[in-house]
Amino acid sequence: MKFSIEEKKQILLWYENVSQDQMHYGNGTVLFPQEGILINKLKKNTDEQLSEYEINMIKDWMPNSKYLFGIELDLYNKLKEV
């Protein structure tokens, strides 16, 4: 699965929100190796293919769908199809 630049920015915002609260170890101070690799891929402006494991990490970062609209909702639906 590939993402547009705007979708990548949104996913990074989801990660930032999750990493800063109690749902993530160390309140944002801990970065697991696989998370770091995925974050680096998302920050690049290339069309790298993401693995199923990486897609599942992104799904873990997604907020509840009832609070989403616009690009967030479109991205949520795109990820739910996988």
How much of the chain is helix, strand and coil, in % rounded to 5?
65, 0, 35
Residue for token digits 């997604």?
62
Percent of the chain surpassing pLDDT 70: 88
Q: List b or e across 35-45, with b for residues whose CB sees 16 or more CB atoms inside 10 angstroms.
A: beebbebbeee
46 has pLDDT over 90? no
Are 49 and 2 in contact by the 8 Å Cβ rule? The answer is: yes
Q: What's residue 26's pLDDT? A: 58
d(CA 51, CA 64): 23
Q: What's residue 17's pLDDT? A: 83
Could you report the per-residue pLDDT of 16-35, keeping only the tens digit for each?
888 876 655 655 566 789 98
pTM recorded for the entire structure: 0.83
> Looking at per-residue confidence, does 70 or 19 come out higher?
70
Domain extent listing, the chain: 5-80
